Structure 1
Amino acid sequence: MAERGFCPEPAFFPPCGSRLYRIGINGGFVAILAIILIYSILFAAGIAFSHLYYIPLVAIAVWYSNRSIWTAAALSLAYTTVTLYLAFDGYIIDPVMIFLFTLLYLWGMTAVTLFQPRGFQDMTRSTRNNPAFTLERTSFMITSATPAFAALLGYTREALEGMEIGLIWTSDSDRQAFCGMLGRGVEVRNFETVFTGMAGNAVPVLLAGRPDQMEHSCSALDLSSLASYRAARTGEEEATRKIAVEETWRQDFVTTAAHELRTPLQPVLGYLHLLIEDRERYGIGDDAGRLLKICLDNVHRERIIVNRMLELSLLDSGKVACAPEQVHLRGLVCEVLAHHDVGSTAEVRLYIPDDACISVNREQFFLVLESLVLNAVQYNRPPRRVEIAYQEDEDYQAIIVRDNGIGIEPEKLKAIFKPFYLADEQDLSRDYDRMGLGLPIAERYVRLNGGTIAVESRVGEGSTFTVALQKRGGDGI
């Protein structure tokens, strides 16, 4: 049978009245030792008898438990025979001690046979919820079954108990091989076969069995559930691989497209500048000049978009380095606001201490603040209000950008940092020069500077973006 890497532990069923067995065995052991001790003291009998018989006894009991009774009987007979033989040569023997040590050997066999390496409580717990069953020693009739094993085959426990094992075995050769090994006292592991369920369905299992003096203990692993798990795991891995391939393809496409678009834009941009700056030389009137200016503005917008696509591709490929420095936060925020004249379109409130400094790459963090502030203004309605605040604790510094805009629906929050995603794509307007790249680039720059970015939003009330930066050594606040 094919072996698998997984090895189910065989089930162990304690004999009925296990507590009585335990009391009887332990009590018998104590009684025998007490009698030997008392007898040795009273009659000065030598107690240092050879105990070498225990070595084969224990070995046989562990590996071939159904042979241990016969082994113990043979060893006891051999011990008695050797002792009697020595007696005929003048060796002084004590028949009482012979009897007591014979009992001691028999006790050792019984203890090892009835008490497997695990305790009864552990054995009971391990089989209670697992598919397991016991077989009669010679007829291989099912004598007991756990609820899990009965459920696996679709039977009740009562229906299984007393059933011939061959009735649920699909392959008779498999049954003969498995039962034959148990009958010879060989422990079986990793035996792959197929049972037949009550509905006639095939139930692939991996069996393990341990021979015993009274019954053979067996356990079964449901290979159909294992196959389902493996199939699901394989499907998950395949989906992950496809996502990785698609992401790589997207990055390659963005990089290639950006380069291809950037190349023809350069001469167009140059010629437009040339025509507009020297209109008289080329005989361009006011109306034509105005149209050329519109063309130039749009080419500028396209170049910005292409540059941002290239920027995103470089960030995703890990080719952008970060050289942090101490940056005065309030000054950087004011620079962003002035660059875009945000104060003319929205009411801006700053809650940033004058001495607040952060350790970041200045140019990269300028782009982060620019994206967050412009996002707060663009996705807003009059009266527009934007708040920019700073907080800190022992380990982190936080920059918070809050607006009173249209908000973001909960199901869209995770998507806003994906490239080319627009929360209001149905209202796409070129006036905003938007391609869904601002927040994805900002999020990547934040991570590059050792921080994280989070967003909270309520539809109709506004959004709050929080950039958390871990404090670096030498930060002065």
Structure 2
Amino acid sequence: MDRYASFSRINVSHTDLVRMIVILSLTISCIVITAVSLRANIGTIYAQLFYFPILYATYFYPRRGLILAGVCAVAYEILAYDYLFPDTGLLIYTTGQAVLFICISAVVAHFTEKVNRSEARYRSIFETSLLGIVLFDQNSFAIRMTNNYLSQMLGYTPEEFIGMTFPQLFASKEEQRKFFEYLGSSEDVNNFETQFVGRNKEPLWVNLSWRRVSDNQVSCSVIDLNKRKLAEQAAEENYARYQQVTELSVLDAGKIPLNYSIFSPGEMIQSIIDAGGYATKADITIDIPRNITFDADAGKISTVIESMLSNAVNYSKPPRKIRVSYQSSASDKMHRIAIQDNGIGITNTQLDEIFEPFQLPDSGTIVRKYDRIGLSLSIAKKYIQMHGGYISVDSIVNLGSTFTIHLPKTRSVAGKGNDG
């Protein structure tokens, strides 16, 4: 940001001050050199020197440059008259040079003002646009310019944006990978939906459209989709609640069978994390040996684990840290998967209730913040019980909770006839 100097209550930026010093120095130098050359009868070639201060001034200050051209023309003509009179031919020549100063300055001033007006219109559109706009370098991806709307959208200042690269705005490496694929496959891209991450570290759904505006510069418009996506998510959650209530009713009636299959819990958990975008919300560590396999209903175990991961993320405190580990030995009859968080914790009184339908720890806060109704743990408990297992909970208030799934390594009697 430019600094300002004050002269007799007139504020002048340091940049303008330097330019004025340069213009003044060049002008004085031209006058002195011209006077010396005329006095020494070297000739009038030094008239060309006046174009340096004239063009420099006209480029940055079109109207003032025109005034300077007039001043230089008068000064040059006075010098010529003083040293060349009564040589009429040379006086006519110098007069032509002086007039040329003004004409060339007028032409440059005209086109400079035209360019400045176009730039001002573009900047006005750029700054007042109801879309986020970002210009970035195609090769280095360094951000060159952003508008105010993008700053409001993501919470960064324009100065902070300049120190960033465009891929840094994406919420995850997966979103970055998609961006690079799109960028490499087409010159221009429209309606690319992705997630940015703002200054508050919360993901934000956006729609991107970009085009190359020069050989190495890309202009990208950013539309905020978060409200629409949240509305869609709310609709999906309402439907999911309806399904949960229906499923709980069917479970209570004992009408849901188990479809056994052999699968890797580690791969399942990783796919749940990827599909749910949990890696963007928390630091999740998976500590499950690759050779471990479950013989169970994969769909229902996936539902149980996703429910617990979702709870762990939602109930954790920033920075959210989740650890998923396997805690069984070869001699154990049970597989044990522990999901540990650093969340709000659960009191002893609440531990007896959390698996009951419509029960939530700290229910007032959680219902308001995450719009949850407390069915997922009830369903999870019943799914594990159907397999002949159970879920245990260890928790310390304000430090976190550990939910452990205990799943038989062999099929329960009830499920042996239901092969997937």
TM-score, structure 1 length as denominator? 0.37
- Please, what TM-score do these two structures have when normalized by structure 2? 0.42
The structure with more radius of gyration: 1
| Higher RCO (C-alpha under 8 Å, 6+ residues apart) | 1
